[in-house]
Amino acid sequence: MATLTKPKLQGKRHRLAKPELLAPAGSLEKLKFAVHYGADAVYIGGQKYGLRSNADNFSFEEMKEGVEFANRYGAKVFVATNIYAHNEDIEGLEDYLRSLEEAGIAAIIAADPAVIETAQRVAPGLEVHLSTQQSTLNWQAVKFWKDEGLPRVVLARETSLEEIAEIKLHVDIEIEAFVHGAMCSSFSGRCVLSNHFTDRDSNRGGCCQSCRWKYDLFVDEGAPAYAPEDDKFTMGSKDLCMIEHLPGLIEVGVDSFKIEGRMKSLHYVATVVGVYRQAIDAYFADPEGYELKPQWLEEINKAANRPLNTGFFFDTPGAEDHIYEPEDKAAPYDFAGVVMAYDESTGVATIQQRNHFKPGQEVEFVGPNGTFFKQTVGDLTDEAGLALDAARHPLQLIRMRTGQSVKPMDMMRKRTVK
């Protein structure tokens, strides 16, 4: 990854404040885990007007439950309403926004000026944050949106660290930036490959990620570029990871660190949020003595879907920042179970199965605030106390002795067997 170079800019520096850690939540369960593992806020999708139509988007009742849970931790819930609306999308928008306000949603994330103006007019209790879909890259555009009454701008993923510093010097506004997760191989949000290939509109929530498909590749005159047994060609980008450069992001004044991944797994959300939470807290506990811990990188890699880089923060990504053939994850692990309860008197945990595991396998337990230990799985029983040779049924409740005490919502994972 790139090394940190501080922007050479003159002027009043933005007052350092502890940035918000903003996590994705593709379902109610993921929302609860994101908050439990340290998110200050989560962003979700409703059943209309968002760009992740294939996520487990929230009903209004689920939103209310999510808000109540988040509030117990002092966290907020934002809703992505970031489509570019066509005429037929406008009907029902006012009622939808009022319902979000009534559900206790703190803010919407919007790109379309029609959605923004409507929210300001009919749901004044909702903050409006400008979505990254607006591709905002310069301080004058940021100032325009501030003048329109928006308290926060989510910058384009293509914004550099130096550009962020200059924006903060010119405009007193909250800046939100993606620090982790998938990147777009096109200019973010402006791709129409999905539209052409599958009739699914990327800018209305239907992106099929066709850049990550496997393609046949040909040279001049139609000759194959590789043998039939070779890997197919893809053109997806590597994933963003800024865990090694948090001090630089903090020093230039980024107000909200955003993690991508409403379609990602529960294990991904909890693991990545937990690492960034630890790193942010460690920096503010001792800025001068702050050091990146190797175990944070190890944890990130255990949840990584793809190879990682630093996106556009330090330079423009080149050919080396894209994936042209299948690559293994850095450290492949499977999410095996969630701790539901623990009996201190017996040392036995009740675990909800999420992936096959059996006696004799080595597993890891992880939880908020750096909880971590390894052990070998011993005897397993079901709820009735009957012995099991494996935990093979999804969501089955399994009882097993753990090497250390565990807590509800701790996770258990195992190394993938190839």
Residue 134 pLDDT > 70, yes or no? Answer: yes
Checking if the pLDDT of 332 tops 90, the result is: no
Is 29 in contact with 58 (CB distance < 8 Å)? no
Q: Tokens 């009534």 — which residue? A: 102
Q: What percent of the chain has pLDDT over 70?
A: 91
Residue 169 has pLDDT above 60, yes or no: yes
Least confident of 4-8, 32-36, 42-46, 159-163: 4-8
Closest CA to 374 of 282, 269, 298, 268: 298
Query: Minimal CA–CA distance to 110: which of 198, 51, 178?
Result: 51
Which among 244, 239, 278, 245 is positioned nearest to 259, based on CA atoms?
239
Domains and their CATH numbers in the chain: 20-188+236-323 (3.20.20.380), 333-415 (2.40.30.10)
**Overall average pLDDT of the 169-192 stretch:** 87
Predicted pLDDT at 288: 94
Question: What type of residue is 172?
Answer: D
pLDDT tops 50 at residue 13: no
Q: Residue 327 pLDDT more than 90?
A: no
- Whether 21 shows a pLDDT value over 60: the answer reads yes
The pLDDT score that the predictor gives to residue 3 is 47
Confidence bin at 326 (pLDDT 50/70/90):
low
Using the predicted structure, report yes or no on whether residue 322 has a pLDDT greater than 90. Answer: no
CA–CA separation, 218 vs 47, rounded Å?
A: 41
Does pLDDT of 8 surpass 80? no
Q: What is the pLDDT of residues 60-97, one digit of tens each?
A: 999 999 999 999 999 999 999 988 888 998 999 999 99
CA distance 2 to 244: 9
Res 251: pLDDT: 93
Q: Is residue 189 over pLDDT 70? A: no
Lowest mean pLDDT among 37-51, 130-144, 386-400: 37-51
CA–CA dist 262, 22 (Å, integer): 12
Condensed to tens digits (0 to 9), the pLDDT of residues 96-119 reads 999 999 999 999 999 999 999 999
pLDDT digits (tens, 9 = 90+) for 253-308: 999 999 998 888 999 999 999 999 999 999 999 999 999 999 999 999 998 878 88
Q: What is the pLDDT of residue 4?
A: 47
Q: How confident is the model at residue 11 (pLDDT cuts 50, 70, 90)?
A: very low
Task: Provide the pLDDT confidence category of residue 330 given band limits of 50, 70 and 90.
Answer: low
224 — pLDDT class (breaks 50, 70, 90) = confident
Q: Worst-scoring range by mean pLDDT, 149-153, 224-228, 336-340, 414-418?
A: 414-418
Using one digit for the tens of pLDDT, what is the confidence trace for 364-418? Answer: 999 998 889 999 999 999 999 999 999 999 999 999 999 999 999 999 999 886 5
Alpha-carbon radius of gyration of the chain: 23
> Considering the chain, what percentage of its residues have pLDDT values greater than 90?
67
Q: What's the confidence (pLDDT) of residue 1?
A: 44
- pLDDT > 60? residue 249: yes
d(CA 124, CA 127): 7
pTM: 0.90
3-state SS, the chain, equals CCCCCCCCCCCCCCCCCCCEEEEECCCHHHHHHHHHCCCCEEEEEECCCCCCCCCCCECHHHHHHHHHHHHHCCCEEEEECCCCCCHHHHCCHHHHHHHHHHCCCCEEEECCHHHHHHHHHHCCCCEEEECHHHCCCCHHHHHHHHHCCCCEEECCCCCCHHHHHHHHHHCCCEEEEEEEECCCCCCCCCCCHHHHHHCCCHHHCCCCCHHHCCECCECHHHCECCCCCCCCECCEECEEECHHHHHHHHHHCCCEEEECCCCCCHHHHHHHHHHHHHHHHHHHHCCCCCCCCHHHHHHHHHCCCCCEECCCCCCCCCHHHEECCCCCCCCCEEEEEEEEEEECCCCEEEEEECCCECCCCEEEEECHHHCEEEEECCCEECCCCCEECCECCCCCEEEEECCCCCCCCCEEEEECCC
262/26 Cα distance (integer angstroms)? 4
The better pLDDT of the pair 167, 9 is held by: 167
